[in-house]
């Protein structure tokens, strides 16, 4: 078992997670409104989905990737509609003067919602396939153990990014007043709504 696979997994997971999209906006917003744990678990939910897609690519599970791509219209419609719902709810929400700490149920919801939202973008499997090809992992022959270590690296690499993002957001929160939080809610809500609309419109092309 070559530890280089773990390093490659870390790099892949971090690079997939780092671009700030709808999940990044959710992570930031939840950190500000519900505390660091809620923001972190939102990111870990996305990291778990990344690990799932990474395992599909690493283990060559073409029947799963083919099914997800074939059903992408329905999946993206559902994901887009949920993003629109989150966006509208965020725009209309009033920020609390002090961030309330999420309950255990709220933390589970934070994790599961981003996990499902990330899974709702089956084209992510194409991103993993492209990155795996760029690393030369498609043509390499490696054992199931090496593939498993690489998927673990993807999970930890992606989680590392969400740890960094939620921690930095938590540190900056003390400098953000109520008026700024109100505008953050509005802007982040509009961004989420925009991602949802784009996802829905994209199903027509």
Using a pLDDT cut of 90, give the percent of the chain over it: 24
Pick the more confident residue, 111 or 196: 111
Average pLDDT over residues 2-24: 84
Alpha helix positions (H), the chain:
4-17, 22-34, 36-58, 62-70, 72-92, 104-119, 124-134, 144-172, 178-202
The span from the CA of 164 to the CA of 172, in Å, is: 12
CB of 16 within 8 A of CB of 31?
Answer: no
Of 179 and 77, more confident? 77
Listed residue (198, 4, 183) closest to 94, CA to CA: 183
Q: Give residue 62's pLDDT band: very low, low, confident or very high (50, 70, 90).
A: low
pLDDT > 60? residue 105 = yes
Mean pLDDT of 32-37: 87
Per-residue pLDDT at 160: 95
- Each domain of the chain, given as residue ranges in start order, spans 4-202
Q: What pLDDT sits at residue 46?
A: 93
Residue 146's pLDDT is what?
78
pLDDT digits (tens, 9 = 90+) for 132-147: 666 655 545 556 777 7
- Six-digit token pair at 72? 């992408």
- Name the percent of the chain lying above pLDDT 70: 82
pLDDT at 168: 92
pLDDT of residue 157: 94
Which DSSP state fits 88? H
Q: What is the mean pLDDT of the chain?
A: 82
Residue 1: per-residue pLDDT? 53
What is the Rg, in whole angstroms, of the alpha carbon atoms belonging to the chain? Answer: 18
Q: Name which of 76, 99, 54, 24 is nearest 197 in CA terms.
A: 76
Summarize pLDDT for 175-192 with one digit per residue, the tens.
777 777 788 888 888 988
């Amino acid at each position: 078992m070559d530890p280089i696979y773990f390093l490659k997994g870390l790099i892949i997971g971090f690079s997939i997670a780092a671009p700030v999209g709808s999940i990044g906006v959710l992570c930031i917003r939840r950190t500000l409104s519900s505390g660091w744990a809620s923001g972190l678990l939102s990111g870990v939910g996305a990291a778990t989905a990344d690990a799932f897609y990474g395992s599909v690519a690493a283990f060559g599970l073409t029947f799963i990737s083919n099914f997800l791509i074939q059903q992408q219209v329905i999946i993206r419609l559902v994901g887009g509609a949920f993003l629109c719902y989150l966006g509208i709810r965020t725009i209309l929400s009033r920020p609390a003067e002090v961030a309330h700490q999420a309950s255990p149920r709220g933390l589970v919801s934070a994790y599961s919602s981003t996990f499902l939202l990330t899974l709702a973008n089956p084209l992510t499997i194409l991103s993993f396939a492209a990155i795996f090809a760029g690393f030369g992992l498609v043509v390499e022959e490696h054992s199931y153990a090496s593939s498993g270590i690489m998927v673990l690296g993807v999970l930890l690499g992606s989680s590392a990014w969400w740890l960094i993002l939620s921690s930095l957001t938590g540190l900056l929160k003390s400098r953000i007043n109520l008026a700024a939080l109100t505008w953050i809610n509005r802007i982040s809500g509009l961004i989420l709504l925009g991602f949802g609309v784009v996802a829905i419109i994209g199903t027509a092309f």
